Structure 1
Amino acid sequence: MTMNFIRVGAACPVTKVANIEENIRNIKICIDKGHEDNIKVLVFPELATTSYTCGDLFMQSTLINKSYKSLEEICEYSKSLDMIIAMGAPLLHNYCLYNCAYIIFNGEILGIVPKSYIPNYSEFYEKRWFTEGLNIKEELITLDFQEDIPFGTNLIFSSGNVKLGFEICEDLWVTIPPSSYLSLMGANIIGNLSASNELVSKNSYRKSLIENQSARTMSSYIYASSGVHESSTDLLFSGDLRISENGTTLKENERFQRENQVISSIIDIDRLNAERNKNISFRDSLKNSCLKPMEVKFKFKFNDYGIFDRYIDKHPFVPNNPKEREVRCKEIFNIQTSALAKRLEHTNIKKAVIGISGGLDSTLALLVIVKTFDMLNIPRENIVTITMPGFGTTDRTYNNSVSLCKELNTNFREINIVAACLQHFKDINHPVEKHDVTYENVQARERTQILMDLANKEGGLLIGTGDLSELALGWCTFNGDHMSMYSVNSSIPKTLVKYLVGYVAEQEAQDRISKILTDILETPVSPELLPKDKNGEISQKTEDIVGPYEIHDFFLYHFIKQGASYEKLLFLSKEAFKGDYPEEILEKWLNLFIKRFFTQQFKRSTLPDGPKVGSISLSPRGDLRMPSDASYGSFLD
């Protein structure tokens, strides 16, 4: 597929119980719809040719023979289609009737997968008709229209990077689903042909089951269940259709529909394979798997997935749903405060020292400290907060830092660094008017020296404030704000820092503190290391220099999470930020991101301790073991 994307689908045709001719007519309508939508893998419900609720009619040879004829008809109908069709139908073999998935491609049956587990409890009594296929491996089936068809539960259908495996309904509900083994045998897309009836609250459980299995197997999971036109003698089916990928539902239908239904979604094969490559436990599981796959090879002729309608979240670190976002923020604060509490208890330190700039990062770190001290019943006066105005400090950030520290009842102090920096310029013979990197870093290191020395003097722990986005870009001064004794924000990206501060402002802070936090949120991001402009405002805006943090956070997520290439990062960013930024701007900041990520690794190699709160961290002791002198040339377009 182009950049290893593929469109897959799930279908629920209108059914007439035991009326195979009518069922095939509706199945063909769904196949046509799938073809129009550029679907490459289309999964139908369990026993779709006959309908699931035929009961003792499954013992009638007429029904079975007509089902075979319908399969031949579907093969003939699909000869010119570049599509895998997973069709549910019965198979009579050696006097045993099996509930099967027939995998059809380009006019022939590539293989037949029997249902491994036959439910025979509560409302299900399938063993009256069907035999379990759990132990069937590498057998061959001959039908009137095709010979030597592979038959077994270990079939993997393979076309390049696309590896397909199939299971049927109950197989998903057992202790170890066959799809777990199929994934270990290489399948990255699992199809489930199902007939799952509706009961109160069953749908939410079924959804979580599908999402969890797709996460556990690091696969895409296509689920298609029988619809409302099945017999309602004792049960009602809803036609539940779902497509999940690695724990997330990409597409689901509206249940209880009375017309033919087909849903589709684009699957990112690269993403799934990257997750498996990184997950050592998955690789270890491969060693313990005694199953050997029977690979059935085929080849898609085309790679067109049609209109790219896959949703790409421009803020992958931040949940879209406000309620979910609130829960996430609360959980992150719990991680940060619990981690800091452990460090304070271990060192038996009762004081914390922190530099407050009036910016987002130091504000978040201070809020974490305050919450931790309250939790440990340590008085807030033991929190030594220091603001250190310099050449670029504006009235807005200065007033916000002073007001916030006082409102939080911390031990507030002010140390102006201008005189010390001027003396240092003189000592190293650096012109004051030369506003270069030395000019900036002198201030950052002067502040860190003050904080370190005060932490020693007070017997306190210096808390770092830098965030994940700054670390990714190396937007920090080595042995300046880069260094601390414990760093609580080190795995929180800038886009999420904003929401965390906003969460406190909205949910936990009193009116006066809430207003200060809101103004901090509205202040441009800046290190304030260059002199103010003529109006006394911030002249050095970080996002004007290195680019918008929302773009860099997006690049960081996909670069680390799935090892996305330059081409794919640019493609995904164009989709995510469509209408927000022109392509040339995205390309400009992508080039800068790649260069800075590689050249600034030496700063990340010497990071202080700090808790991991999300799926991505750049800690040299944990997630990122990267040489400081790696070249970025091959990673640019």
Structure 2
Amino acid sequence: MALATISSVTLNQFALDFEGNLFRILQSIEIAKGQGSRFRCGPELEICGYSCEDHFYESDTRTHSWEVLATLLVHPTCQDILIDVGMPVMHHGVSYNCRIIFLNGKILLIRPKLILCDDGNYRESRWFTGWAKGRHLEDHFLPDIITRVTSQKTVPFGDALLQLEDTCIGFEICEELWNPESSHISQTLAGAEIIVNGSGSHTEIRKAFYAVEMIKSASAKCGCLYVFSNLRGCDGERVYMNGCSTIALNGDVLLLGEQYSLLDVEVLTAGVFLDEIRNYKNTIRSRTLLASRVESYPLVVVEWSLSYPTDKADMHTLPLEPPPQFCPPEEEIARGPALWLWDYVRRSPASGFFLPLSGGVDSSSVAIIVYSMCWMIVQHLEAHAADANDQVLKDVRKVVKDGSYFPKDARELCGHLLTTCYMGSVNSSEETKSRADSLANAIGSNHSEINISKVCEAFVTETARSLSKATPTFDGTRAENLALQNVQARSRMVFAYLMAQLGPWGKGKDGFLLVLGTANVDEAIRGYFTKYDCSAADLNPIGGISKTDLKRFIVHAGIKFGFPQVKGIVLAPPTAELKPLESNQTDEEDMGMSYEELSTYGKLRKPQACGPFSMFSRLLALWRDRHAPDEIARKVKHFYTSYAANRHKMSVLTPACHMESYGPEDHRYDLRPILYPVDFTWQFRKIDEYLKKLTAGL
């Protein structure tokens, strides 16, 4: 029996880092060959990086991609293995997201993406066009740089199968798998036995299993070996590509890549008896009936085999037992945003992070996420202690600016990478200060304290003098009250950036720190933050996470890392502490809604596409045992009025790691106006009319 070998590759690529991307591609090919692979499949747009965005308009991006491909075509590592890489290609004046399949210095096929992704965080049709000519091939004229190394002037371009000596291969690119008319269906009916998919899929809490289930289902209903290759890391964007590259056979997962990892290169190689595919296909009689009627596919015939003789049977890969398990949501928060931060800091000139630590759930969660990052780094370094060329160790030494440094433990590394500061005022309580101090000591951050009261007093006094008015008070007008609160919040932002710039200097070192924001996704939707306050930062690891999930995470992290301090943090009522202590200010009272309610509003507003009236209608069912209809109407109106009045704040949100499905970040995920009719007269009137009918029993 013929045993075919094939590799799925996970890469942590970086937009426009052609040098680094080439290095990682070559490393993956070398590993695949070392594992006995005959075919290497890589992730989407791996040559240039997936997140180039408007740089895809530039001819430089395409030119440098061809230059990298030319290097790969002639590189000794790339010989004697079939290779599939991703890059942009312009064909007849139209730019396509493509796979380039080559063997021994010759391009066999350029396969463009058929279905583009334009939902959520993705805008692929802004830069690319989907190939609309199904089952069609035409000639693509190669640039001179490629012709010089391959002696090819044209190569096949379009939708085709690769017919090898022993099997037939079909191609999907990311969104084609999720599409209702997935390409793998027609391809497998037309004879493809292996489907390879180069993808760029991001993480969301509770979603990791979904892609794997899609892959299992595709291989089960069609009878095929499905090889899914995904990106890993932030790639310069607001999402974290979560890896989880997968190889599945006839409904069983053979290999599954790590969900979260510090590895820049991960290679999964499977050995499969091709008769397993053929025998399985033949048992699905309804499939064979459809296959007998299907229109034929164009074939690119290649003199190459994926198979080894039977004496290589020891390479045969069996299904995973037990079935794959994924991180629970709390662990996803501990890992995803942490690795997103690590990718950012290691690829920037920064020396670490600065965090205003208030002692509340949000800022404490950010602190623990950074500690989790350090914990994962130390775990990795201990596992790879014998590798002097380990990339993670190189990156750590680069960030701390010490070529011989090796961390003793996560706490010590956190002291090098994280500086925290409690920025108290006359309105701050001893309880919050104590919680901040205790957590900083537990994680080992470089901690200090600043009192902002005198600075705030100077701002207020000078402003009152300029306006020829008496000094404003908290007991005065609403404008006075808000101004006195906001000046404290904005003063903290100024101190945060000053500390971030001068922190290393204060220790006699060079460099600067990245300021971390601490506003969660629910507060962003409600607009419950001061514009340009200490939530304004360089990065926000929790900006895409709900308060509810953060509370669960911090409890989980407290148990995992042994931090008993988190119990007091979680139990304390959330408060901004911007008013005098005797006011007993709390966030939920200020907002006029609970965090649990906010999470529900967010999910209805974005992923379920509800306006005021439809949200009211949905909540009548969801909250029928909790609130009367008139109370639900009041709550919906209050939410939308607050949301509309504060929508302008969402245009300046700190770049955050996207983790929930209802983020309000308007640069990318939530494209909506920044100016609204705050009173929603028509919508609210419809709610009132419906409420009257309910009250009347109609």
TM-score by length of 2: 0.43
TM-score, reference length from structure 1: 0.47
Q: Which has the larger radius of gyration?
A: 1
